[in-house]
Amino acid sequence: MTKLRYLVLILPLAAGSYLWFGRETQPAAAQPTVLARPVVMSAPGRVEPQRDPVKLAFEAQGRIAEILVEEGDAVTANQVLARLDDRLARARVAAAEAGFAQARARHAFARRGPRHEDVAAARAEA
């Protein structure tokens, strides 16, 4: 009977020890890595200003020669959106420079005064 008692006491202890110390430890679950990427979405729609309509200002008038942005591009303040055809403006500048050069020549002639030959010819005619 004493053997049976010892067996009843030892058997549960042995089984508990086996279960507790004999089992393998579970590996820790791998933590997923989170990658941060920008999110880009595309959807049809219409852009309407929240406040007053957008006001555009131009330094000159003329025909557009080149458009530098496309519909849907992001733009910033003071960014050049288009270039004007400047042929007419260049022609006007050239004409103004020619007129200025002619006026300078007349001014220089007037400051020098009449030549002796011109004075003599004028006296002879008089």
pLDDT tens for the chain, 126 residues: list them. Answer: 677 777 777 877 787 777 777 666 666 677 777 777 777 777 787 767 666 666 777 777 888 899 999 888 888 888 888 888 889 889 999 999 999 999 999 999 888 877 888 788 888 887
Residues 6+ apart with CB under 8 A from 64: 82, 83, 84, 85
Domain boundaries, the chain: 85-126
Quote the tokens at residue 95: 């004409």
78 DSSP assignment? T
Q: Are 64 and 85 in contact (CB under 8 A)?
A: yes
Q: Is 35 helix (H, G, I), strand (E, B) or coil?
A: coil
Q: State residue 95's pLDDT score.
A: 96
Give the bridge partners for 67, in sequence order. 82
Q: State residue 23's pLDDT score.
A: 63
Its pTM stands at 0.40
112 DSSP assignment? H
Helix or strand (DSSP H, E) at 83:
strand 82-84
